[in-house]
Amino acid sequence: MSEKYTNPVKKMIPSKLETGFQQFLYKHVGKHIPKSLTPNDVTLIGALGGLFAVVSTLLANVSPLFFIGTLLGLAIHLVADDLDGYVARSRGMSSRAGAYFDLITDVLFSTFLILSFGLTPYCNMAVAAFGAPLYGVMNVTMMNYIIYFNEFQFPRLGPIEAHIAYAAAAVLAMVFGDREWFFIGSFGVKTLDIVMFVGMLPMYYEMIRMAIRLFNRLKEADGK
């Protein structure tokens, strides 16, 4: 019989907004989750919410009102993404497969949601293409923190900040549509282009900061 898995990784979350929201969910929602639901079931619910957000965003090509579906999918994904780990820890159901399932669905959700924005008239793909790989690339650094230092290092701008940014993009797209505010050469800059560009600046900074910090820590460890 295999030994029961216990996640040994130390989770480090610098975002007070993220930790506050998690504690709120644990206290007011977590205890009401049916015992029949496993952590993977909760992750799957979140993944389906994320898929609903992506499909709704693509359907915004038909009408911007489909962004309401994007907002609903975002809310489902955010809540489930915080509660799957709670269910795993509180019920002693942590697993390697569950941790991987959670990670890969989050990366796929973030990547394809940003790309789906770029496939609508409300955002230029040239801008979305630079935002799409951010979450996946940042997770490479996060996973290496786990491998080498047993630390789950969250960026300063965590999942809740990302979901708020996605929601803001959806709302602003409904309000301003595909209006072009100014031109850079022949490139018409739209509302979502501005939102994504402004949002990408701190995220790229975090990605580079975390990567450099990890590299320096690895160099120090190699020198011991």
DSSP result, 39-81: HHHHHHHHHHHHHHHHHHHHHTTT-GGGHHHHHHHHHHHHHHH
Going by pLDDT thresholds of 50, 70 and 90, the confidence category of residue 1 is: very low
Residue 4 in this model has a pLDDT that exceeds 90:
no
Residue 126 in this model has a pLDDT that exceeds 70:
yes
Q: Do the beta carbons of residue 121 and residue 58 sit within 8 Å? A: no
Report which of residues 207 and 156 the model is more confident about: 207
**Token reading at 169:** 């993009």
Lowest mean pLDDT among 9-23, 38-52, 95-109, 161-175: 9-23
How many helical (H) and strand (E) elements, i.e. helices and strands, does the chain have?
Answer: 8, 4
Question: Which amino acid is residue 49, in one-letter code?
Answer: G
164 class by beta-carbon count within 10 Å (0-12 exposed, 13-18 middle, 19+ buried): middle
* Rounded distance between C-alpha atoms, residue 49 and residue 55, angstroms: 10
Domains of the chain by residue range: 14-223
Residue 113 in this model has a pLDDT that exceeds 70:
yes
> Which pLDDT belongs to residue 83?
94
Residue 80 in this model has a pLDDT that exceeds 60:
yes
* Rounded distance between C-alpha atoms, residue 113 and residue 107, angstroms: 10
Going by pLDDT thresholds of 50, 70 and 90, the confidence category of residue 7 is: low
pLDDT digits (tens, 9 = 90+) for 39-70: 999 999 999 999 999 999 999 999 999 999 99
Pairing of strands 10-12, 151-153: parallel
Residue 14 in this model has a pLDDT that exceeds 80:
no
Instruction: Give the start-end residues of each E strand in the chain.
Output: 10-12, 151-153, 180-184, 187-190
What is the reported pTM? 0.90
Say which CATH topology domain 14-223 has: Four Helix Bundle (Hemerythrin (Met), subunit A) (1.20.120)
> Which pLDDT belongs to residue 2?
52
Residue 156 phi, psi dihedral angles, 5° rounding: -65, -35
